[in-house]
Copies of this chain bind each other. A is one copy, B any other.
């Protein structure tokens, strides 16, 4: 099967609150929104934010828990950008989990929870190239 992921859908409680974090904090634009779901066109896939009840109904599974055992990451271009982005996102409804610091394997990273408690790592990883279109490639640490 194609090594491809099409959508990441995050369960959210409040569309306006989530939109503020993603559209004003990250500065991203929505490609679609209605009264229960919003989509963002990302680098090769789609990010969805959906009222949790809708997601649970579609999945036929209730009791989705927080914080979930996963993290999303947004890599930035310089070490200094990491704390700047964390601080900006904190102004738009995010809650910093770990301020920027340098991991043993190199680079720089911190973590912030979005308004629905989904964790984002903000990282500077000089080894992994990012194309102008935003496509990210794995590469071994220097």
Chain A residues with CB under 8 Å of chain B are 1-11, 26-29, 31-32, 39-47, 52, 55, 58-61, 63-76, 85, 97-98, 103, 109, 111, 116, 118-119, 121, 123, 125, 128, 130, 133-138, 140
Whether B138 lies near A39 (C-beta < 8 A) is yes
Shortest beta-carbon contacts, A-B, top 9: A68-B68, A44-B44, A11-B69, A4-B134, A65-B65, A7-B73, A6-B75, A64-B69, A44-B135
Nearest B residue to A111 via CB reads B59
Nearest B residue to A59 via CB reads B111
Question: How many copies of this kind of chain does the complex include?
Answer: 2
Contacts A/B (CB < 8 Å), 14 sampled:
A6-B75, A7-B71, A7-B75, A7-B123, A8-B71, A8-B73, A43-B45, A44-B44, A44-B133, A46-B137, A55-B70, A58-B121, A65-B67, A65-B69
Nearest B residue to A63 via CB reads B67
In whole angstroms, how far apart are the Cα atoms of A135 and B133 in the complex? 11
The answer to whether residues A73 and B5 also contact, given A60-B98, A98-B59, A138-B41 and a CB cut-off of 8 A, is: yes
Whether A136 lies near B97 (C-beta < 8 A) is no
Nearest B residue to A40 via CB reads B3
In whole angstroms, how far apart are the Cα atoms of A73 and B59 in the complex? 11
Task: Enumerate chain B residues within 8 angstroms of A74, measured Cβ to Cβ.
Answer: 1, 4-6
Whether A45 lies near B136 (C-beta < 8 A) is yes
